[in-house]
Amino acid sequence: MEQAETPRAGPVAPLRPPGAHPIELWISYVLRIGTTLAGTIILVGVALFLIHGPQAGEPATLHDMIGGGGHSVATSWLDVVRGVAHGHAFDVIRLGLLVLILTPTTRVAMTVALFVAERDRVFIVATTIVLIILILGLIGLGA
Amino acid sequence: MGGLEWFVVGVFVASVTAGLLGALVGLGGGVLIVPLLTIGFGLNIRLAIGASIVSVIATSSGAAAAYVRDHLTNVRVAMLLELATTTGAVTGAVVAAYLNARVLFLLFGVILLVSVLPMVKKLGEEVPVNIVDDRLAARLRLASTYPDRALGKVVPYRVTRVPLGFGMMYVAGVVSGLLGIGSGALKVLAMDTAMRLPMKVSTATSNFMIGVTAAASAGIYFWRGDILPLVAAPVALGVLTGATVGAKLLVRFRNRTVRLIFLVVLFAVAVEMFLRGAGIG
């Protein structure tokens, strides 16, 4: 599956640099799974919209949505969760977008694990700070 | 179908084209999304930026998966510099709320012209030689190796001028958070030109960082309500589709004509954004 793991013929066989950690491989999987999952949820949301039309309480016509350039529609975790439970198209799309934002965040969390495994204090601290910045944005601080 | 449905289809088709073009010339499609939504679809620039930042995460995560697997990414350099880019991105996203739309148009025009730079003149070197680790790079053990398939061997490299690179990365983060783009051009400028990383490593590491940087500001745009589902969905799906197809075509298609067309498009778009900012467009 992975070139580095499976020796191949030719001069490019053992290309895994010394010190590369298997967590890097898992990070690569998480990135792929997260993007695919987010894309699928967004696609489901768009399909729901095309079948049922715009959800109640949201812009219903093109003019409502982008007339005069359009305006922001603030939301909250609670609204998104409730909307998804009711199968509301816009909130399903919002959930997909949140999964997309969560993907790099998960990657950073895994990198913290990588540095913990390597017992690298400076990098444990640096990566944790980045993770905290991402989580603060994700829960809606600063908006 | 009503007007909204056609709008979604139209934005999707346009985003596929942007993603495709972006992948063919090795630039994220994100830089084209904001002009597309504002000039093409008459959207408010803040909402265009909100939709764009999400698509940046999508393309970066997709591409980064491949790069990490190929061991081209320097995870230590990426994590260190992400301290600068995420802080910058949060600054940018917060400041954007207080800026006049016209200022955003002007800034976007400037950044478009800067993005053209790496395309006109090849920056950095494939594998820089005679580089000595600076104090920070040595202390943080940033030097590493990468497998070069063209050379058929593992290539060791050094890292220098870390503080300068860190500062440039903060600026790249601010620009990303402010304008909803990956600012890959600025990141490559910092890693290739300042820190002297090999071309392949800085490209892969920059791509790896773009998603994290974008995620830092995306949350702020999301809860502020600047990411409209019916705009962001077709943009994210479209750019992702375009970028995936583009990456496959790349092998057969990399030629001067495509780059030249893209350059002309970018330049024209930059001028149009300037005019809007100046209130003439």
Domain ranges of chain A: 22-58+75-138
Q: What's the mean pLDDT when you consider all of chain B?
A: 86
- What is the predicted pLDDT for the residue at A1? 35
From chain B, the residues in CB contact with A127 under 8 A are: 79
Q: Say which residues have a Cβ less than 8 Å from residue B209's Cβ, sequence separation at least 6.
A: B78, B81, B82, B85, B187
When mean pLDDT is compared across A55-59, A134-138, B26-30, B150-154, the lowest value belongs to B26-30
SS3 B157: strand
- The conformation of residue B39, written as its DSSP 8-state character, comes to I
- The owner of tokens 């913990």 is A116
CB-based contact A102:B211 (threshold 8 Å)? no
User: Which of A34, A90, A100 is nearest residue B229 as measured by Cβ atoms?
Assistant: A90
Structure tokens at B154: 């593992």
Total number of residues shown for chain B = 281
Chain A residues in contact with B74 (beta carbon < 8 A) = none
- Report how far residue B203's alpha carbon sits from residue B124's, in angstroms, rounded to the nearest whole number: 11
Residue B118: the pLDDT is 67
Task: Determine which of A8, A15, A76 to mutate to test the interface with B (most B C-beta atoms within 10 Å).
Answer: A15
Cα A48 to chain centroid distance, Å, stands at 21
Picking from B21, B42, B13, B50, the residue whose alpha carbon sits closest to that of residue B115 is B21
> Which of B45, B47, B53, B61 has the highest number of chain A CBs within 10 A, making it the mutation to test binding with A?
B61
B103-160 confidence digits (pLDDT tens): 999 999 988 888 777 666 665 667 787 888 888 898 989 999 988 877 888 889 999 9
- The pLDDT, as a whole number, for residue B267 is 85
Taking the whole predicted model, whether its pTM rises above 0.95 is answered as no
The beta strands (E) that lie in chain B are given as 144-148, 153-157
